[in-house]
Structure 1
Amino acid sequence: MWNKRHALFWIALFLFLPAFLSGCGGNGQLHKVKVGEVTRSVFYAPQYVALEKGFFEEEGLEVELQTTAGGDKTMTALLSGAIDVALVGAETSIYVYQQGAEDPVINFAQLTQTDGTFLVSREQMDNFDWSQLHGAVFLGQRKGGMPQMAGEFSLRKHGIDPHRDLELIQNIDFANIAAAYASGTGQFVQLFEPQASIFEREGKGHVIASFGMESGRLPYTVYMTKQSYMNKNDEVVQKLTHAIHKAQIWVQEHSPAETASVISPFFKDTDLDVLESSVKRYLEQGSYAESPEITEEAWNNLLDVMEGAGELKVRASVDELAENKYAKFAIKSDPSP
């Protein structure tokens, strides 16, 4: 029989059920974030782990990932609002700063902390010495991009002027460099994984040195966004950083084979053994950042690399173009996958 007690129950249920469902995620509503990655690469394994393991969803985020091939295109997409967050080299934020942008681009979480390219030779060179590059035809990367600048930094470290001591080829688009080398262009080439491992397996090239090992710690690939977006979406940026840090921990605590298996949906044309070899190589040289925080030492090394390449006009400090509060909070929270 209907009575006052029943009436109060249904009123309370009507008032509080929506809030309860919302708090439990019952409505399935996630905050969408459009992220543009500069390229698709095993170098970004933690990002794909975060996607596949649901770490973004755990933070209430729906990440819409798109590959915006090339640093210039990625930054253009960010500045125009086509994407909310960019995963690209930290040097791009410095270029925007140097142009006097009113709405600067701020780095907030690093994903990789070394250069990710390897020196590949057509012939096996067991006793390789950098002096052997003198006079060689070298298929390099795009001028002003981090791979090329880190490569030049490494070459100068070994007494080689890349523009005088080499026949340097830089007129080939990033996406076509591997194909150009495979077709016979150049004696040496600078390649990311998994292409380096693929070439080794196919007998098209041999990894003889690591530019990541030579150029030191760098905020090489970083999540960044416009200051205006960060101001309006502080909680979103924090949640994104949390998810990335969870993935960083996961990759460090699992085997290359496990990581390769998880990220394989993003590399459907690449065999698992090649993915495993690539992840193993990056782990061994410490390329995957264990922390999203951008250190002053690594930032200053980046400035030195850019200065050596003649691309730096202003030495902007890490405090000007990096916001580490998100990384520090994520680290303090010590999220466990």
Structure 2
Amino acid sequence: MSISRRDLLKLAGVAGAASVAPGMAQAQQLEKKDVVVAVGGQALIYYLPLSIADIKGYFKEEGLNVQIADFAGGSKALQAVVGGSADVVSGAFEHTITLQSKGQAYRTFAQQGRAPMIVLVVSNKTMAGYKTPADLKGKKIGVTAPGSSTNMMASFFLAQHGLKPTDVSFIGVGAGAGAITAMRTGQIDAMANLDPVISTLIKEDAVKVIADTRTLKDTMQIFGGNMPSGCLYTSQEFIDKNPNTTQALANAIVRADKWIQAASPDDIAKVVPQSYLLGDPDLYKLALKGNKEALSPDGSVAQDGPQTALKALAAFVPNFPTDKIDITKISTNDFVVKANKKYPNA
């Protein structure tokens, strides 16, 4: 029996389909369904996409069973992953650079924030006559903790205006009620902090904003480029072993990023837990409005983001080993590119 070229092509197609189909099915299978995500302060707007992905069921729809472990701060969340009690961190982008400087390969694969969301304010009580940054000389500046991102942002602002970190006193005040009390009672003259702390003080007219990295304009001005903030990151080993699971996590975060951009402050306030509102829904909505520009619209890290973050760390951390850092290995947009194709209008 003679077989025509067309028949051969048909047979080849069938054989090809038979060999490809199992592979395609395999590609959809998650290597790890149960995932622990560590975060330092889940209720912060900084981590809103993580909460939305969880609340709206986006993780579940990707076949994941995500458990969120909430810690007191980003450094504790980081320790959980390095120590093995969590798989992924929802934390600050620059942590991946710090880890690489210590010989540990970690990578960002989905972004939640495209600006640091840190605001520098001066007290209307102790600095009512504030005119220029030079007025900060000799003053007490509250930061969440010494050595934190808030400390780095304040130091950058001072340097831009000819002041050294030693020209002021940095005081750790946390990111909650203690920070608000410190400002209200005059224990500090200025503060670099995040929402809801900042919006609380703005609402009661206790402070004046002098630099605001909730906006892309001030972020560019202070850091000299795009400065990524909240993201999902994990070890390169986890990504290599669990590419489909990593993709599923990125899909959920990208959907959450897009939902937030399309939602109103009212929509968001209705779905988050009551505890996030701190008993004042209007204040929470004010904070949402103030931070919306800084939240990522699509999960991707800007091309100049890694370099900006590296420069910031190198300028802030004494003797930072910049020559040890390969910035091509601290983030990837591969997973969010696929997520955006899957959910173009999520």
For 1:129, which of 122, 128, 132 is the aligned residue? 132
Which moved further from structure 2: 47-56 or 204-213? 204-213
Number of the residue aligned with 1:4? none
Q: 1:253 to 1:212 in 2, by over 3 A?
A: closer
Number of the residue aligned with 1:117? 118
For 2:298, which of 285, 291, 300 is the aligned residue? 291
Q: Is the 8 A contact 2:175 2:197 kept in 1?
A: no
> Offset at 1:208?
4.1
SS state of the match for residue 165, structure 2? coil
| Distance of 2:137 and 2:96 partners within structure 1 | 34
For 1:308, which of 312, 315, 330 is the aligned residue? 315
> Offset at 1:301?
0.8
Q: Is the 8 A contact 1:119 1:208 kept in 2?
A: yes
TM-score with structure 1 length normalisation?
0.81
> Offset at 1:82?
0.8
For 2:68, which of 65, 70, 83 is the aligned residue? 65
Pairing of 1:240-251 with structure 2 (within 5 A) = 240-251=249-260
What code does the residue aligned with 1:90 have? F
Q: Deviations over 1:241-267 (max 9, x none)?
A: 011111111111121221222224451
Q: 1:335 to 1:59 in 2, by over 3 A?
A: farther
Q: 1:137 to 1:48 in 2, by over 3 A?
A: same
Number of the residue aligned with 1:215? 219
Number of the residue aligned with 1:226? 235
Q: Is the 8 A contact 2:200 2:283 kept in 1?
A: yes
Number of the residue aligned with 1:32? 34
Pairing of 1:189-268 with structure 2 (within 5 A) = 189-213=191-215, 214-216=218-220, 217-267=226-276
Number of the residue aligned with 1:3? none
SS state of the match for residue 119, structure 2? strand
Pairing of 1:95-110 with structure 2 (within 5 A) = 95-101=98-104, 104-110=105-111
| Distance of 2:144 and 2:79 partners within structure 1 | 20
Q: Is the 8 A contact 1:154 1:211 kept in 2?
A: no
Q: Deviations over 1:16-57 (max 9, x none)?
A: xxxxxxx9xxxxxx9221111122302222222222211111
SS state of the match for residue 82, structure 1? coil
The reply on whether 1:81 has 2:88 as its aligned counterpart is no
Q: Alignment length, in residue pairs?
A: 303
> Offset at 1:144?
3.4
| Distance of 1:32 and 1:93 partners within structure 2 | 23
Number of the residue aligned with 1:186? 188
Number of the residue aligned with 1:151? 154
Percentage of identical aligned residues: 23
Which moved further from structure 2: 263-272 or 44-53? 263-272
Number of the residue aligned with 1:276? 285
Q: Deviations over 1:157-185 (max 9, x none)?
A: 23222222x23224x55564444334432
Q: 1:67 to 1:89 in 2, by over 3 A?
A: same
Q: What root-mean-square deviation, in Å, do the aligned CA atoms of Structure 1 and Structure 2 show?
A: 2.5
Unaligned runs of 5+ in 2: 1-24, 26-31, 221-225
Q: Is the 8 A contact 2:306 2:331 kept in 1?
A: no
Q: 1:272 to 1:173 in 2, by over 3 A?
A: closer
SS state of the match for residue 163, structure 1? helix
What code does the residue aligned with 2:343 have? D
Number of the residue aligned with 1:16? none
| Distance of 2:344 and 2:67 partners within structure 1 | 23
